[in-house]
Structure 1
Amino acid sequence: MTNFLELLNEMQRTEVKRQMAIYSQGVQEIIPTEELENKIARSILEKKPLKIKLGLDPSAPDVHLGHTVVLNKMRQFQENGHIIQLIIGDFTGKIGDPTGKSIARKQLTDEEVKHNAKTYFEQFAKVIDMAKVELHYNSSWLSKLNFEDVIQLAGKITVARLLERDDFEERVALGKPISLHEFFYPLMQGYDSVVLECDIELGGTDQHFNILMGRHFQEKFGKEKQVALLMPLLEGLDGVEKMSKSKKNYIGIDESPQEMYGKAMSIPDELMNKYFQLITDFTPEQIQNIKEQIHSDILHPRNAKMLLGKTIVRMYHGPEEAEKAEQHFISVFQQGSIPEEIPVREWQGDLLISIIDLLVDLELFSSKSEARRMIENRGVKINGNTIEDTKMELTIVNDLIVQVGKRKFVKIQL
């Protein structure tokens, strides 16, 4: 392979280093790094943008900050003039990616794929410029393959190589079944890269095997091999588990500014630098500066977290809403005030009610046991006063304010 870096002048080499610093920020692994550097050098020399691939099987319509880790990296490539190839797996999505699954995935219908894809586009537009994205549906080439084509594709990979995949290996060891169609998922994802002649494929570390299939099949088809750029998985607000809606440790990009800011303030201190790196639009220099200021006690961790919360809200709701969310947080949580805008519930029940029944009736808790635990933990207030008696009964009056935790408020009106 030609070493394009050697053909560049000093200014062009500086540009390669600048882009490499941006693309390397927060990345778990680049396979291989020298090929990425060479591709960037060739792009500069030939004045030809690189093709950056992201494949999506729209299995769920909601996007949270964990999903934006890869999207933010794509935005960085896009800002440097490279081409984003967004592949909607309307064909592969009917099979379902078996990555991390102990059983076969439920296959999606055409209607489910189209609905989820549309929702993705609307939410992705908050991170990347969708007007400049190359949008592809892999059914446009995969559905045209005949059985002979599929056999030839399967002949370019061994069963032993497929069984190297962790989830397949685990299922074999446990005696759990693997359907034959599941083996074809990584084959099809790899073939997508052959068709589109991708230069770089992005994905989470859980996509390591699938993305390397792209390199494998490009080589088998005589194409230049893509570089795999793997992003770490983002821990959620609990600081332990991967961010997930099912684990309720997520920040959704469609949530209200106040909710986003409030949730951001619960991010563990030790994860702040990772969040700055992976889900904000700060430069590597800005992030390093924040890290150094915290380390030298110039910037208090609380203030750094407020900057993070404000940045997250700004990116998805704009600077004005970010300022309002911060002022709301300062007023309500730092100064102990009750917010001006509170959801109002019209009360039509009994005027004398136990505190636990009230909390459940207001749908602040799904069960009485949850409500009881929160009271015992001093997490419930009525008109600003902490409730300590789980057997307390109170009279419902107009404009009664019920507070649970730091962020939930309800005003009762008769």
Structure 2
Amino acid sequence: MDEKQPLTPEQQKLVDEQVEALMRGVVEVVPKEAFREKIEKSVRTGKPLNIKLGMDPSAPDVHIGHTVVLQKLRQFQEYGHHIQLLIGDFTGKIGDPTGKSETRKVLTDEQVKQNAQTYVEQYGKILDIEKTEILYNSRWLSKLKFDDVLKLAGQMTVARMLEREDFSKRYKTGQPISVHEFFYPLMQGYDSVAMETDIEVGGTDQTFNLLMGRQLQEAYGKEKQVMLTLPLIEGLDGVRKMSKSLNNYIGIDEAPNEIFGKAMSIPDELMVKYYKLATDVPMDEIEALEKGLADGSVHPRDAKMRLGHKFVEMYHGKEAADEAEQYFKTVFQKRALPEDIPVFSWEGDKEVPLIDLLVTLNMQSSKGEARRMIQGGGVKINEQKITDIHTVVSVEDNMIVQVGKRKFAKLSLT
């Protein structure tokens, strides 16, 4: 079909629908007018757009923060567009220097491979992986000759690189910057050249890298991609970006009760943001919820219950979500012990230090963590709080051990 041919009313309606839906939660589109033009071209010709998400496979545990861009990809996918999930197995050996205060350690081929596989498995909980193209940038980057690399390097000045906040800070404070780190954004941009990407999606912290794709596509005679950025979502502390290292995250592979319980601790002021960016709840329902929270007709607790249920349903199914909600109501609202407490057969000493007991039951991963949990008042024996780290427990049949709000164990001496 002629790309210049005017859109029919039906086609125009579809374009308007896509643009409105796909702009949900977006921080910036560069350039905005080209975004609509690409959607129009796709509708007019019936050819799907290539939508790219690049991943540096260095940390394989996917959390709700990561799903913000994945939800956007899912939207594109539902409109029939082609998702390009790029595993940076080659760039992953360097590591994205974004936000880093020092040179990243180089990953081995085996580490990259393992992390990439874990990402694909977890992303499959959101995307239709059968309709997603999985690409590895070693396919083209490893084939570049040195003169190709020199041509690539010639597309960017050192001054432009040093405009990046992370490089600028390290340069001003005298911290080392390895030359190979400058190649990360160049290689990521070259990925868009090789993949003929139409739209690249990423977090706001990836703006520099995403713009590089546009610059290099133009340099190599390709149609320039559109950059679409989404916000970084704050973690459970309500302040810092969600991160496993900060322990303020909700992992999509965590147990249903853990996901639901963590969702209930999301700060009230962030609930609507989580709904908009990390779920597929329709916008009209979210707007009604936001209005209800503002005028007091919706209690924040009820909104969190729905959000917790939604998260569990998305990653474990509706039945698990119903059970997690009931578990929360039983344990926390009614202050009752859950009915399905795991039973552990105890064959050790009848007198055991509490710290050792918690580690042996895998309720804490180390004695240090166990000590801190006890001192913080997070450990109970038969519903009695224990705060003395030197406590020696007399193990009894059917004794209930509780750590935090969601971990329980019943000991059996038979």
TM interval, shorter chain, is over 0.9
Question: TM-score if structure 1 supplies the norm length?
Answer: 0.93
Which residue pairs with 2:222 in the alignment?
223
Which residue pairs with 2:30 in the alignment?
31
Q: CA deviation at 1:159?
A: 1.3
Gaps spanning 5+ residues in structure 1: where? none
Q: CA deviation at 1:65?
A: 1.3
- Measured in 1, the distance between the counterparts of 2:119 and 2:391 equals 47
- Measured in 2, the distance between the counterparts of 1:356 and 1:161 equals 54
Pick one of 364, 372, 376 that aligns with 1:370: 372
Which residue pairs with 2:123 in the alignment?
124
Q: CA deviation at 1:298?
A: 2.5
Which residue pairs with 1:290 in the alignment?
289
When residues 387 and 135 of structure 1 are mapped into structure 2, their CA distance, relative to the original with a 3 A threshold, is closer
| Higher deviation after alignment, 387-396 or 148-157 | 387-396
SS in 2 for 1:12: helix
- Measured in 2, the distance between the counterparts of 1:228 and 1:342 equals 49
| Higher deviation after alignment, 126-135 or 233-242 | 233-242
- Measured in 2, the distance between the counterparts of 1:140 and 1:203 equals 22
Query: In the alignment, residue 372 of structure 2 is paired with which amino acid?
Result: E
SS in 1 for 2:272: helix
Which residue pairs with 2:267 in the alignment?
268
Amino-acid identity (%): 58
- Measured in 2, the distance between the counterparts of 1:67 and 1:55 equals 12
Which residue pairs with 1:254 in the alignment?
253
SS in 2 for 1:145: coil
Deviations 1:324-367 (A, max 9, x none): 11111111111111112223333344434565665566554533
SS in 2 for 1:7: coil
**Aligned 8 A contact 1:3 1:38 in 2:** no
Which residue pairs with 1:54 in the alignment?
53
- Measured in 2, the distance between the counterparts of 1:325 and 1:399 equals 24
SS in 2 for 1:411: strand
- Measured in 2, the distance between the counterparts of 1:54 and 1:228 equals 11
**Aligned 8 A contact 2:3 2:45 in 1:** no
When residues 398 and 158 of structure 1 are mapped into structure 2, their CA distance, relative to the original with a 3 A threshold, is same
Which residue pairs with 1:277 in the alignment?
276
Give yes or no for the alignment of 1:78 onto 2:77. yes
| Higher deviation after alignment, 279-288 or 171-180 | 279-288
- Measured in 1, the distance between the counterparts of 2:146 and 2:203 equals 32
When residues 261 and 161 of structure 1 are mapped into structure 2, their CA distance, relative to the original with a 3 A threshold, is same
SS in 2 for 1:203: strand
Q: CA deviation at 1:285?
A: 2.0
**Aligned 8 A contact 2:376 2:387 in 1:** no
Which residue pairs with 1:202 in the alignment?
201
Give yes or no for the alignment of 1:338 onto 2:337. yes
**Aligned 8 A contact 1:360 1:371 in 2:** no
Aligned residues: 409
Query: In the alignment, residue 93 of structure 2 is paired with which amino acid?
Result: K
Question: TM-score if structure 2 supplies the norm length?
Answer: 0.93
Q: CA deviation at 1:196?
A: 1.4
Deviations 1:170-194 (A, max 9, x none): 1110111111111111111111111
- Measured in 2, the distance between the counterparts of 1:110 and 1:391 equals 46
When residues 158 and 309 of structure 1 are mapped into structure 2, their CA distance, relative to the original with a 3 A threshold, is same
**Aligned 8 A contact 1:345 1:410 in 2:** yes
When residues 110 and 413 of structure 1 are mapped into structure 2, their CA distance, relative to the original with a 3 A threshold, is same
| Higher deviation after alignment, 264-273 or 400-409 | 400-409
Which residue pairs with 1:314 in the alignment?
313
Query: In the alignment, residue 313 of structure 1 is paired with which amino acid?
Result: V
- Measured in 2, the distance between the counterparts of 1:63 and 1:98 equals 20
**Aligned 8 A contact 1:22 1:284 in 2:** no
SS in 2 for 1:61: coil
Alignment of structure 1 residues 44-193 onto 2, 5 Å: 44-193=43-192
- Measured in 2, the distance between the counterparts of 1:355 and 1:288 equals 49
- Measured in 2, the distance between the counterparts of 1:231 and 1:220 equals 26
**Aligned 8 A contact 2:375 2:388 in 1:** no
SS in 2 for 1:403: strand
**Aligned 8 A contact 1:192 1:214 in 2:** yes
- Measured in 2, the distance between the counterparts of 1:196 and 1:350 equals 62
Q: CA deviation at 1:59?
A: 1.0
Query: In the alignment, residue 373 of structure 1 is paired with which amino acid?
Result: Q
SS in 1 for 2:376: helix
CA RMSD of aligned residues (A): 2.2
Query: In the alignment, residue 376 of structure 2 is paired with which amino acid?
Result: M
Gaps spanning 5+ residues in structure 2: where? none
